[in-house]
Amino acid sequence: MSTDWLTGIYLTTPVILEQPDYVTRLRDEIGLNTVVMGFTGEMPEEVLKLSPYGGTIPTEAELEAIILRHFDGRPIDPREYGQARNLCGPGAPLNGEDETFRRAVDQLKAAGLDVWTYGGAWTIRRLMFCPSNPDVRSWMETACVHWATEYGLDALDITHFRYPMGSFPLGLFGCTCTHCRSEADGLGYDMDRMVDDLKATREQLRRLDGKRLADVTRLGFGFFDVVHALGLRSGFLDWWRFRQDLVVKNLTQFRAAVKAASPDTRFGTDTYPASMAMTAGHDYLRWDQMCDFASPLVSHISAFVSNTFIEWARFLQEEIPNLTEEDALQVVYRFLGYDGMGLPETVAAYGHEDAATLADRIPTADLVLRDLVKAKLLLPEGVPSYPIIHGEGWGMETIDRILTEMKSLGHNGVVWQGTEDILNGK
């Protein structure tokens, strides 16, 4: 193993402080060299005054002024408003405590480890703060600079610099607020045309016959079949490109600000699984323009991947006459590029009420590795890649295979979410 192989883990401040032996054991037993912590410190007064929250806990109306708008005018799902009110601004905790955060960082440094933070950014599950809103943008930039300069951290690997996950369909069709409209204009897109073409695609989808679609899916459809059958117009593709451009523009700006203030601090954001990255606004092809490294977040096999299959299959069944659940799932697998690996044939077979054991019911290693193979196709040469995988609940056989193959694919490290299997499997 190369000495610059990164072995990281996600940990919280309380775990670091209350179980100091845990990281030293991981350092000695599995070569842990990096800890990625959530940010639990305080945002100082000069940063807070830039918060789009304006120093108060926002009302529903105030939140709705800064969050993503669906193209039919609805603000995104209000179920996350409670979580949004536990922040002092997008991505930062309301009741942070600098003393304990600094103590945890110092303790890890003393143990010889690199320390990163994953901070927080635009999205809270279904909710997203509008990435074109100038107040949200300047707040996120200032927050990143604060995190990069005040705690001696080695890197920012900010989470949730993306659009809501594909399993929340409302999030796929925003944001179309006035700020996004003018951003679209500035980036060379026509918001009205994009919205018209998204609607036209849906109308054409509804004209397909489910039984014939299932026949074609069994034979194997290709790129032009999709374009042709959906009558895709250029505004449909523009929509996904526009959202990618907006993420690239924002992160390029935040990274430049971080580098100006702290040239040695690395800047990155966790990276949506490659097969579905366009749905979250992530463009692997331009990752080097906005980040110093990629961290493909392939650990969320339930929330990101399986839930998307199920939600999209349900959507297709609602839209397309004569489409069975089994056939709808096969269409989704084929369309998203996960076909042929033996994923469940019915929704019930996912056993979704028990997400913790999902890895036993799906071909987890094949699923994860498919996205890691695609990541290497898409990422620019020279961008280090540190996939985030589960060290708990997947079993040693799956973990071993993923680790072996991701090394031979040329990834540059691993960030664990949990380590129970790897410690017990040793």
- CB-wise, 179 or 390, nearer to Zn ion? 179
Query: How far, in Å, CA of 410 to CA of 141, rounded?
Result: 32
- Cβ–Cβ under 8 Å, residues 115 and 105: yes
CB of 179 to Zn ion, least distance (A): 5
Choices 167-175, 261-269, 301-309, 339-347; region in contact with Zn ion by CB under 5 A: 167-175
Which of 413, 381, 317 has its CA nearest to residue 116? 413
379 is an interface residue for Zn ion by CB under 5 A: no
Beta-bridge partner residues of 115: 35
CB of 177 to Zn ion, least distance (A): 3
Query: How deeply is 185 buried, as exposed, middle or buried, from its count of CB atoms within 10 A (0-12, 13-18, 19+)?
Result: exposed
Which of 160, 155, 48 has its CA nearest to residue 96? 48
CA–CA distances in Å: residue 64 to residues 28, 52, 154, 376: 49, 12, 35, 38
Q: How many residues bind Zn ion (CB under 5 A)?
A: 6
- CB-wise, 116 or 122, nearer to Zn ion? 122
- Cβ–Cβ under 8 Å, residues 23 and 35: yes
132 is an interface residue for Zn ion by CB under 5 A: yes
- CB-wise, 179 or 255, nearer to Zn ion? 179
130 is an interface residue for Zn ion by CB under 5 A: yes
CB of 308 to Zn ion, least distance (A): 23
Choices 13-21, 171-179, 192-200, 382-390; region in contact with Zn ion by CB under 5 A: 171-179
User: Beta 293-296 vs 388-390: how paired, if at all?
Assistant: unpaired
Query: How far, in Å, CA of 240 to CA of 221, rounded?
Result: 21
CB of 52 to Zn ion, least distance (A): 12
Token pair belonging to 49: 């005054």
CB of 237 to Zn ion, least distance (A): 20
**Scanning the structure block, which residue is given the tokens 């009558």?**
231
- CB-wise, 67 or 294, nearer to Zn ion? 67
- Cβ–Cβ under 8 Å, residues 26 and 418: no
Token pair belonging to 93: 């905790």
CB of 130 to Zn ion, least distance (A): 3
Choices 38-46, 140-148, 179-187, 351-359; region in contact with Zn ion by CB under 5 A: 179-187
- Phi-psi bin for 112: left (phi > 0), alpha (psi -120 to 50), beta? left
180 is an interface residue for Zn ion by CB under 5 A: yes
x/- map, 74-103, Zn ion, by CB under 5 A = ------------------------------
Beta-bridge partner residues of 271: 296
Choices 111-119, 126-134, 275-283, 315-323; region in contact with Zn ion by CB under 5 A: 126-134
194 is an interface residue for Zn ion by CB under 5 A: no
Choices 45-53, 123-131, 399-407, 413-421; region in contact with Zn ion by CB under 5 A: 123-131
- CB-wise, 67 or 257, nearer to Zn ion? 67
63 is an interface residue for Zn ion by CB under 5 A: no
Query: How far, in Å, CA of 245 to CA of 258, rounded?
Result: 20
250 is an interface residue for Zn ion by CB under 5 A: no
- CB-wise, 167 or 176, nearer to Zn ion? 176
- CB-wise, 132 or 295, nearer to Zn ion? 132
Convert 258-306 into a string of H (helix), E (strand) and C (coil). HHHHCCCCEEEEEECCHHHHHHHCCCHHHHHHHCCEEEEECCCHHHHHH
- CB-wise, 132 or 167, nearer to Zn ion? 132
What crossing angle do the helices spanning 178-186 and 191-207 adopt, rounded to 10°? 100
Choices 96-104, 116-124, 176-184, 357-365; region in contact with Zn ion by CB under 5 A: 176-184
6, 37, 177, 379: which one contacts Zn ion (CB under 5 A)?
A: 177
Query: How deeply is 404 buried, as exposed, middle or buried, from its count of CB atoms within 10 A (0-12, 13-18, 19+)?
Result: exposed
175 is an interface residue for Zn ion by CB under 5 A: yes
- CB-wise, 130 or 316, nearer to Zn ion? 130
Binding site for Zn ion (CB under 5 A): 130, 132, 175, 177, 179-180
